[in-house]
């Protein structure tokens, strides 16, 4: 179990991820970005080769392998103490990634897009990030409907976690899937009920960095959504998030540090001071 919130930094080996600053074009560029994130305090580097933004088209496993395996291999050799996660829904990519230095599989589909994924992860004996998605990236934002969203997603995780356990996956991390088949209003409803998912007794990952749920209500774009990301990350941490998946590691680390500091302050001492001041200056 994760005792204190940690940060996962994002590296996208793609030409079309929604936030261009997360993209890398070469292995060397990826190493440099990983180095910066590690220096800034990232505990995990998440490497993906396929954009899953709304409306995106799926690329093949072979193309994804070509994009991510050289980067995972190089980053793991350059930073052997750093935990690397592979962002993929293909079991073949997950297997190759772990064989070349990754130690977590981050699957947006919860095993729905590749029937061999859960068994593969179990055989690899690595932690599995289990995310909720409604639909597929191409069409997931086309009017997603829920009768009771929190209950439906909770039921989804109960079923999926049980399936993972039966397959032999010992470490499951839950990601409620902000932006994956949810409207802006539904995303905020999910944020408000985030603490409910602590009952699953799994670490809770939140990935809201620079997403539409932040920049669209503000009338800006992803490039200008850092401040909003910090605000929503703070709320997520207060509601139980254990891992923040972000583009901007330094700002997220600062958010965790200040919130931890705030939470460690003894509020009783403050109340005592205020009562003493009130008694001395008002009641006398």
What is the rounded average pLDDT of the residues 122-140? Answer: 92
- The span from the CA of 24 to the CA of 9, in Å, is 13
What is the rounded average pLDDT of the residues 127-154? Answer: 91
pLDDT value of position 278 = 46
- Is 90 exceeded by the pLDDT of residue 142? no
pTM of the model: 0.90
What is the rounded average pLDDT of the residues 235-257? Answer: 97
pLDDT value of position 227 = 97
Structural fold of domain 6-283? TIM Barrel (3.20.20)
- Is 80 exceeded by the pLDDT of residue 17? no
- The span from the CA of 61 to the CA of 26, in Å, is 19
pLDDT value of position 61 = 95
pLDDT tens track for 22-48:
667 789 999 999 999 999 999 999 999
What is the rounded average pLDDT of the residues 181-196? Answer: 96
The DSSP line for 146-211 is: -SSHHHHHHHHHHHHHHHHHHHT---EEEE--TTSS--HHHHHHHHHTGGGGGGG-S-EEE--TT-
The more confidently predicted of residues 94 and 50 is: 94
Mean pLDDT rounded to a whole number for the chain:
91
Active-site residue numbers?
211, 245
pLDDT value of position 141 = 84
Nearest-5° Cα angle at 6, 67 to 257: 130
């Amino acid at each position: 179990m994760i005792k204190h919130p940690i940060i996962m930094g994002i590296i996208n080996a793609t030409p079309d991820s929604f936030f261009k600053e997360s993209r890398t074009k070469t292995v060397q560029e990826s190493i440099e970005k990983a180095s910066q994130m590690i220096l800034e305090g990232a505990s995990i580097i998440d490497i993906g080769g396929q954009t899953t933004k709304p409306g995106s088209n799926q690329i093949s496993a072979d193309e994804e392998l070509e994009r991510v395996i050289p980067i995972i291999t190089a980053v793991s050799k350059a930073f052997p103490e750093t935990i690397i996660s592979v962002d993929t829904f293909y079991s073949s990519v997950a297997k190759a990634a772990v064989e070349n230095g990754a130690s977590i599989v981050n699957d947006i589909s919860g095993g729905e897009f590749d029937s061999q994924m859960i068994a593969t992860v179990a055989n690899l004996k690595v932690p599995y990030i289990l995310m909720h998605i409604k639909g597929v990236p191409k069409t997931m934002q086309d009017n997603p409907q829920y009768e009771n969203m929190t209950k439906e997603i909770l039921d989804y995780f109960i079923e999926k976690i049980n399936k993972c356990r039966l397959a032999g996956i010992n470490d499951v991390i839950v990601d409620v899937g902000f932006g994956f088949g949810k409207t802006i209003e539904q995303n905020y409803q999910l944020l408000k009920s985030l603490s409910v998912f602590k009952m699953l007794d799994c670490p809770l990952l939140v990935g809201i960095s620079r997403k539409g749920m932040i920049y669209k209500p503000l009338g800006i774009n992803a490039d200008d959504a850092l401040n909003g990301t910090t605000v929503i990350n703070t709320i997520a941490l207060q509601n139980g998030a254990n891992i923040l998946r972000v583009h901007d590691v330094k700002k997220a680390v600062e958010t965790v540090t200040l919130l931890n500091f705030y939470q460690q302050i003894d509020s009783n001492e403050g109340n005592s001071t205020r009562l003493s001041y009130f008694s001395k200056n008002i009641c006398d």
